[in-house]
Amino acid sequence: MNALLAVLLLLAPPPASGQEVATLRQTNLDSKVRAWGTVVPEEVFRLKSTIEGRIEAILVSSGAWAEERSPIGLMSTRELAALIDSRGTIPEEIVQERWQKVYKPTRILCPKSCFVLKAYVKPRQRVKPNALLFEAAHVLRLAGQVDPASASLVRYGQRLEFWAVDDPANKMEGKIVNYVDPSSGKPKPGTFGLELSSERNLLPGARWEGWVSIATKRKVLAVPTTAILSHEGRTYLPVQVTVGATNGDLTEVTSGAVEGTAVLVLEPAKAPPASRYKPGPEAAKRLDDALDGLDPEPLPPAPAPAPKPAKRSAVKRSKPAEPAPPPVEEPQAPEEEDPYAD
């Protein structure tokens, strides 16, 4: 196993652009499986006009969520539209306020929370009965696929961290549902779904990527993998040290390293430069070995199997023990007659 080795940063300048300083800290190390997919709308429906009138307002635009029983648009009847148009010198704000309070506009509603896919109308547009107004979906779902090489490690209920491909900084979380285990023999093994909402929202058709956490190694010392250097089969970690006197060839280290610590001497003119460390299959194997016996991600309890009826085994019954015979009473000698008795 490679020892943790330190590169002494002697009199190093502040980090340049593209560099940052991280801290060796204790944290949890997740074993992860790569996942990816797209966003698909489900339970798609269309809202149509039931009256002849005019669209007065669009309250929820395309690509946004609407709450249950919350209007996504307002309509006026043909008569009310004519009344609004003939306001004369009355300011439009007063007419609108009176219209809202007195005449009660027709509200365009989703029967339950919905995602507005498309608006087919715009404000001030006149519509006939049965005219198409909006298209919406009750559900947006992540359609996901995990790495086939690790699909057997994924389970229902495991944590998924995901983000849009074009917005990797905006990370969201959820739990896997509807997972098709490769051992089940069902079509499309390694696929799953996850329902979205207004709190964790991606647009339909968006491509996403993420990680499924399959197990966790807790309270380990860790650094960003990009901080580790590799040279001739060994790995090194640049750490901060304090230096003292120097004679040009050697420099005193006053703190930050102890005697015997191996260091990587960067001399590009005499040897090939060190490269960034790239974890290979052996690193993943070390993590898998370390995860044996550790806490996996908590999963929902599986339903208990129905108890099977107990099998009657042909056991030879033993005869009950016969009761012991009662003790035999010894005969007693007859009583002698009293010669002085009357």
pLDDT band at 154 (very low <50, low <70, confident <90, very high): very high
User: 178: closest CA among 160, 163, 197?
Assistant: 160
Strands in 106-109's sheet, in edge-to-edge order, are 106-109, 71-77, 53-58, 126-127
CA–CA separation, 208 and 336 (whole Å): 118
pLDDT of residue 333: 46
Between 296 and 203, the higher pLDDT residue: 203
Amino acid at 6: A
With 50 as the cut, is the pLDDT of residue 331 above it?
A: no
Name the phi and psi angles at 116, rounded to 5.
-80, 115
Contact partners, residue 125, CB within 8 Å, separation at least 6: 54, 55
Place of tokens 């959820």: 174
With residue 265 as reference, give the H or E element that holds it.
none
pLDDT of residue 232: 83
Query: Domains in the chain, ordered, with CATH?
Result: 6-11+221-291 (no CATH), 30-40+140-218 (2.40.30), 53-130 (no CATH)
- Sign, CA dihedral 89-91-94-96, equals positive
Residue 31's Cβ-count burial label (10 Å; 0-12, 13-18, 19+) is buried
Q: What is the pLDDT of residues 246-278, one digit of tens each?
A: 988 899 999 988 899 888 887 765 555 555 545
Average of per-residue pLDDT across 126-145: 93
CA–CA separation, 17 and 42 (whole Å): 45
Mean predicted lDDT score pLDDT of the chain:
77
CA–CA separation, 46 and 158 (whole Å): 35
With residue 55 as reference, give the H or E element that holds it.
strand 53-58
Structure tokens at 114: 């919905």
Is the whole model's pTM more than 0.75, yes or no? Answer: no
With 70 as the cut, is the pLDDT of residue 212 above it?
A: yes
- Neighbour-count burial for 242-273, b at 16+ CB within 10 Å, e otherwise: ebeeeeeeeeebeeebeeeeebbebeeeeeee
CA–CA separation, 287 and 277 (whole Å): 16
